Amino acid sequence: METTLARPALARNAPAAASGRAARITGRILSGLCIAFLGMDAIVKVLLIEPVRAAAPQLGYQPETMVPIGITLLVCTLLYAAPRTAVLGAILLTGYLGGAVATHVRILNPLFTHALFPLYLGAFVWGGLLLRDARLRAFLPWRSRD
């Protein structure tokens, strides 16, 4: 106990600061991958490329509905990408991805590869956000001491 009190505050906090920095970097990488994936998905929907046009009826949608769906996804992704609106973007993306799960369940796509893929992506969205934002981690019951 004496050694802990005798150490300077900076030295006591060094491991927490290092792990906090590593968490932020990991969170930014994870969030960046989600933003890239969701952004690309939104763009191909907005451009209504042939594979999107062909897949729409298989999912139970008219091809023309893919453009507004893509715009919605793009707006949610941009909100998530901006630090000031990232939490709002994550909330909106959660709703969007929930609709994607419902679509895949409704047409009886395979569970682990298709129907739950949006759930995996949503976990990455929130995981990335939690890792890069200490204020958000403060709400968790098992919060870390950054």
pLDDT tens-place string over residues 19-29:
688 999 999 99
Residue 8 is assigned to a structural domain of this protein: no
Residue 33 is assigned to a structural domain of this protein: yes
| Contact status, residue 143 vs residue 137, Cβ threshold 8 Å | yes
Residue 15 is assigned to a structural domain of this protein: no
Average pLDDT (93-106) is 96
Instruction: In whole angstroms, give the CA distance from residue 79 to residue 125.
Output: 12
Q: Which residue has the higher pLDDT, 62 or 144?
A: 62
Assess whether pLDDT exceeds 80 at residue 40.
Answer: yes
| Predicted local distance difference test score (pLDDT) of residue 9 | 45
Instruction: In whole angstroms, give the CA distance from residue 137 to residue 24.
Output: 12
Instruction: In whole angstroms, give the CA distance from residue 17 to residue 84.
Output: 23
**What percent of the chain stands above pLDDT 70?**
84
Residue 75 is assigned to a structural domain of this protein: yes
What domain count does the chain have?
Answer: 1
**What does pLDDT average to over the chain?**
87
Assess whether pLDDT exceeds 50 at residue 10.
Answer: no
Range of the domain at 26: 21-133
Assess whether pLDDT exceeds 50 at residue 121.
Answer: yes
Residue 138 is assigned to a structural domain of this protein: no
Average pLDDT (16-41) is 89
Residue 16 is assigned to a structural domain of this protein: no
Assess whether pLDDT exceeds 60 at residue 14.
Answer: no
Residue 105 is assigned to a structural domain of this protein: yes
Residues 6+ apart with CB under 8 A from 136: 87, 129, 130
Assess whether pLDDT exceeds 70 at residue 15.
Answer: no
Q: For the ranges 4-8, 47-51, 133-137, which has the lowest average pLDDT?
A: 4-8
Residue 12 is assigned to a structural domain of this protein: no
| Predicted local distance difference test score (pLDDT) of residue 143 | 61
